[in-house]
């Protein structure tokens, strides 16, 4: 369920026009400066549409009034690799949604809702710790952590780009990427904690809750 929440929150922000409008307004960006914020937002949205499987081609993305593709061949190949990862994540989310729904229904039907509540809370704690550790690692050495993640995800080095020749690195800057990742993690943790608290109160018997508090107090 937490995987479903995480990927869904990521898809929401990556596919939201308002988020890109906010980011380009908050940060100085070479693409936005050269072509204008509205143009940068449009190109970003069209790029995300491609990554999320809502359009088939990216070489058709151009700046207004130009016949030349916005991205060069290196960028197009890298974004094609990214598209595969995005689509696989969405597929995993859908499978996880089916599995978690079936699991919850079985637990509810067999009157073992308390097991679901406790396991859900335990999973949230583990996920929260993992998220905090990841943030700390990136804060200590962002470049090294960034390179490590990309080396794990890709079997080539097309993700290493030159700001002088590659528009993608000037469009999706480190500031935008890091803030997007940060807001996704924050919203995901808040949603998970809120639902976890609600689920625990609803499904765990009052006597069990009181007994747990008594044990902790003692």
What's the chain's average pLDDT?
85
pLDDT at 210 over 70: no
Q: What is the mean pLDDT of residues 81-99?
A: 95
* Torsion angle (degrees, nearest 10) of CA 112, 115, 121, 123: -120
CA distances to 15, 55, 68, 207 from 48, in Å: 6, 9, 19, 49
- Residue 215 confidence (pLDDT): 47
CB 132 within 8 A of CB 125: no
Helix, strand, coil % in the chain, rounded to nearest 5: 75, 0, 20
If one counts the domains in the chain, the total is 1
Higher-pLDDT residue of 56 and 204 is: 56
**CA dihedral angle for residue 40, residue 46, residue 49, residue 55, rounded to 10 degrees:** -170
Is residue 207 very low, low, confident or very high in pLDDT (cuts 50, 70, 90)? very low
pLDDT, average across residues 104-132: 80
Which of 87-101, 160-174, 184-198 is predicted most confidently? 87-101
Confirm if 63 and 70 have CB atoms less than 8 A apart. Answer: yes
The pLDDT confidence band at residue 100, using thresholds 50, 70 and 90, is confident
- E strands along the chain, which residues? none
CB 59, CB 69: distance < 8 Å = yes
Q: What is the largest CA-CA distance in the chain?
A: 73
Residue 38 structural domain: 2-217
Q: What is the mean pLDDT of residues 45-53?
A: 94
């Amino acid at each position: 369920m937490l995987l479903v929440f995480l990927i869904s929150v990521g898809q929401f922000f990556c596919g939201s026009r308002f988020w890109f409008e906010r980011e380009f307004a908050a940060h100085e960006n070479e693409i936005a400066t050269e072509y204008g914020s509205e143009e940068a937002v449009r190109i970003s949205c069209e790029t995300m549409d491609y990554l999320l499987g809502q359009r088939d081609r990216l070489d058709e993305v151009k700046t207004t009034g130009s016949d030349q593709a916005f991205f060069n061949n290196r960028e197009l190949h890298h974004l094609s690799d990214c598209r595969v990862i995005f689509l696989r994540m969405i597929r995993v989310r859908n499978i996880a949604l089916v599995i978690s729904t079936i699991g919850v229904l079985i637990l509810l039907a067999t009157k073992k809702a308390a097991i679901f509540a406790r396991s859900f809370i335990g999973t949230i704690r583990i996920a929260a710790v993992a998220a905090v550790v990841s943030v700390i690692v990136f804060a200590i050495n962002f470049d090294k952590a960034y390179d490590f993640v990309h080396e794990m995800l890709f079997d080539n080095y097309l993700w290493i780009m030159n700001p002088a020749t590659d528009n993608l690195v000037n469009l999706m800057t480190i500031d935008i990427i890091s803030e997007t990742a940060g807001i996704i993690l924050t919203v995901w943790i808040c949603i998970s904690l809120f639902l976890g608290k609600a689920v625990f109160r609803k499904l765990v018997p009052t006597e069990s809750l009181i007994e747990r508090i008594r044990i902790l107090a003692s």
